[in-house]
Amino acid sequence: MSQHVTGAHGRTRMWRFRQVVRRYVNPVTRPLAKRLPTFAVLTHRGRKSGRTYRTPINVFQRGDDYFFYLTYGSDVQWVKNVLASRSCSIETRGRVVELVEPELITDPDLRPAPPHVRFVEGKIAGATQYLRMRAASADAALGAPT
């Protein structure tokens, strides 16, 4: 069920709001995201510029797997950067976790998501994809304190 897709599947109903969120919401949420449950700051490197980016994001952990439900779809820069580099890190609840092996999954039911996330992401945002990654090592899943 894993696949890379572009076009219509790469964008959701929320796509048109991403620039407003990036400019006005992300600067406010970035300092909070690394401390709140189900939030993180994702650090990734631009595939063309080489620049380091820090993106506040929702993340859900199940064992060594981390799930990112794609509110705006897969046609966003952070997803493309992570897929190209095959890794990223997240800072969440006072710890940094290195993540590897990104897998873009198309699943209109968003089966691994908690019920409230399936409703918001699937029914409201129209998301049909998520990114699954795993902690780089079993010790990394515990995270090093920051």
Domain boundaries, the chain: 7-137
The CA angle 29-56-47, to the nearest 5 degrees, is: 145
Count of CB atoms situated within 10 Å of the CB of 134: 16
- Where do we find the tokens 């631009």? 46
pLDDT single digits (tens) 43-68 = 999 999 999 999 999 999 999 999 99
The CA angle 35-65-83, to the nearest 5 degrees, is: 90
Q: In DSSP terms, which residues pair with 61 in a beta bridge?
A: 66
pLDDT single digits (tens) 117-139 = 999 888 888 899 999 999 998 55
- CB of 134 closer than 8 Å to CB of 65: yes
7-137: CATH class? mainly beta
pLDDT single digits (tens) 64-117 = 999 999 988 999 999 999 999 999 999 999 999 999 999 999 999 999 999 999
93 by DSSP, 3-state: which?
Answer: coil
DSSP 8-state class, residue 24: I
